[in-house]
Chain A
């Protein structure tokens, strides 16, 4: 699977589906797409009729061979590109993509260590790609995912994650604004206590993937190091921009 491709490919929107109140899943047909590993991202380029262009990066929820690419986009207020992708774009519309990018934030079936995935908001997208790849493969490494969201409705792929029925793959949730009825834990940002409770302990030497807004990634990384995880065992990917 080639990586580091630097040319732009034409993508046609094949399907769109609402995912959250502000988010959408997009399926793109990309002739010539070389395939991608779980965890990688691509750049999207949009060109307006007068030639004006904008580029943004999006993580890919799908992986493997094939020329269909799945994205999940969260609309940011005051955004320029995300509102277009979430509200305007329709099947048949075209845009350009470049990638896949990211040999660093990937998971390979040959990895045999425990894996801890920690997602903040739309940071779940590359981690869903990794989770899907783990579940579809013969890999039996212990996996845990901790997904922090504002509220249950704001979670991407909530039903799919809740339906995971593999004793070796546990999903935990954290809510910052609204939680489901009878949620036993306090609302708010993740804390050292909640991370210690909801993640694979440092003693098991997991490889940790953290993805989300910069502030979330920095806070979680500090907590993990304080809990005894070596910095070299924590992979990070920071989201931002609109």
Chain B
């Protein structure tokens, strides 16, 4: 869990992918994003949301483009409210519902 490097203070929350981020975001977007195709505004890369880089912690979620590592979106949520910033997310394309 909270492994803090005693010398550098680095806390490694682990880099996961869009599969892990999709649950939290389903509360906001009301759809399952994993099969959605997302486009990065910075480098133009398009791919399944499941394959983005995601850093999750109890109050926040940062999603990065797997290609250029620029931030696609940031979602901060806590008792004081929530804030979603769409940074480099250029587009979300949802597949047809089954």
Contact = CB atoms under 8 A, between A and B. Distances in A.
Interface of A: 1, 3-6, 41-43, 54-55, 57, 76, 78-80, 98-99, 101-105, 214, 235-242
B2 interface: yes
A78 B34 contact: no
Contacts of B17: 214, 236-238
Nearest to A100: B32
B95 interface: yes
Contacts of B3: 78
A237 B54 CA distance: 11
Nearest to B20: A57
Contacts of B16: 214, 238-241
B35 A103 contact: yes
Contact of B50 (A1, A6, A104): A104
B31 interface: yes
B1 A102 contact: no
Contact of B48 (A4, A43, A104): A104
A238 B54 CA distance: 10
B14 interface: yes
B23 A57 contact: yes
Interface in B9-59: 13-20, 22-24, 26-27, 30-35, 48-51, 56, 58
B51 A236 contact: yes
Given A55-B23, A241-B14, 5 more contacts: A3-B32, A78-B2, A98-B23, A104-B48, A241-B16
B15 A78 contact: no
A105 B18 CA distance: 11
Contacts of B23: 41-43, 55, 57, 98-99, 101
B32 A101 contact: yes
A101 B23 CA distance: 6
A236 B98 CA distance: 22
A236 B66 CA distance: 13
Contacts of A104: 18-19, 34-35, 48-50
A102 B33 CA distance: 8
A214 B34 CA distance: 17
A1 B97 CA distance: 10
A1 to B, nearest CB: 7
Contacts of A101: 19, 22-23, 26, 32, 34
Contacts of A239: 16
Interface string B75-87: 0000000000000
A6 B58 contact: no
21 contacts: A3-B32, A4-B31, A4-B33, A43-B23, A79-B1, A98-B26, A99-B23, A101-B19, A101-B23, A102-B19, A102-B22, A103-B95, A104-B19, A104-B48, A214-B14, A238-B17, A239-B16, A241-B1, A241-B13, A241-B16, A242-B1
